[in-house]
């Protein structure tokens, strides 16, 4: 049963929608969201941040280009992110862009990893277009000091009101390997081009406990706990993402 607070939110937003031409049905949760995301290990360089984000935006639907992103980043990167992306917003559309920038603890080889709503991690040799191939080539042999995640989601505006428990979505290049409720304790391993990635879920968090890639950055990224947080292994093309069911 929906709570009184949620009911009042729905009533209020439905009233707003009536004035904007959006029907109440458009505000209710759709069966699934459309999602496209880039996770990159990139040099600590403003020009490379901007180039990576422009390549990401070029892959979005035309009506999503120009949306103002929600930015989670140290202050000195925020203006770079906003300059590379848009400033418009559409609060009732359900479309949103979220960008996260964080410093890595130590330098690793630069690379990018993408996934979409078909729930698969892209294979760069088959799935990258020309712009993304060029971006990846420009990163080759460069040291990365940042992790940049940019995600586009198109879902019903009120979907968050109906969200359930947190789940860990585990993906590789073949698609979704597993979805694990984060109230459970479990270990699993995921195959990739570099070998196996070992994952532990426990106490409402998840982390990589063993990695087969050379720099083991996925293991060094620590634990994820909150929706939207990601652990990415570009060499093994494995992605861990926290969502709300």
Could you state, in order of their start, the residue ranges of all structural domains in the chain? 30-162, 163-245
Confidence class for position 133, pLDDT limits 50, 70, 90: very high
Considering the entire predicted model, what is its pTM?
0.75
Residues 135-190 have pLDDT tens digits of: 999 998 899 999 999 999 887 665 555 557 899 999 998 889 999 999 889 999 99
What pLDDT does 148 receive? 95
What pLDDT does 154 receive? 86
Please identify which residue in the block is written with the tokens 């630069």: 110
Class level of CATH domain 163-245: mainly beta
Average pLDDT estimate for 34-58: 92
What pLDDT does 77 receive? 94
Residues 72-113 have pLDDT tens digits of: 999 999 999 988 886 665 555 678 889 999 998 788 889 999
């Amino acid at each position: 049963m929906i709570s009184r607070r949620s009911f009042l939110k729905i009533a209020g937003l439905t009233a707003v929608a009536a004035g904007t031409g959006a029907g109440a049905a458009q505000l209710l949760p759709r069966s699934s969201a459309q999602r496209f995301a880039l996770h990159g290990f990139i040099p600590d360089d403003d020009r490379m941040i901007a180039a990576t984000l422009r390549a990401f935006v070029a892959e979005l639907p035309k009506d999503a280009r120009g949306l103002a992103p929600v930015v989670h980043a140290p202050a000195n990167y925020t203006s770079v992110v906003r300059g590379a992306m848009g400033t418009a917003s559409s609060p009732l559309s359900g479309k949103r862009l979220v960008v996260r920038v964080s410093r890595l603890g130590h330098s690793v080889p630069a690379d990018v990893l993408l996934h979409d709503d078909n729930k698969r991690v892209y294979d760069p040799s088959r799935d990258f277009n020309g712009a993304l191939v060029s971006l990846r080539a420009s990163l080759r042999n460069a040291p990365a000091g940042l992790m940049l995640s940019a995600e586009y989601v198109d879902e019903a505006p009120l979907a968050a009101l109906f969200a359930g428990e947190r789940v860990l979505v585990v993906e590789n290049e073949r698609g979704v390997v597993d979805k694990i409720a984060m109230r459970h304790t479990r270990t699993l391993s995921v195959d990739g081009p570099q070998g196996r990635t070992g994952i532990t879920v426990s106490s409402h968090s998840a982390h990589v406990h063993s990695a087969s890639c050379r720099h083991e950055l996925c293991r060094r990224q620590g634990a994820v706990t909150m929706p939207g947080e990601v652990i990415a292994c570009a060499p093994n093309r494995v992605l861990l993402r926290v969502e709300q069911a």
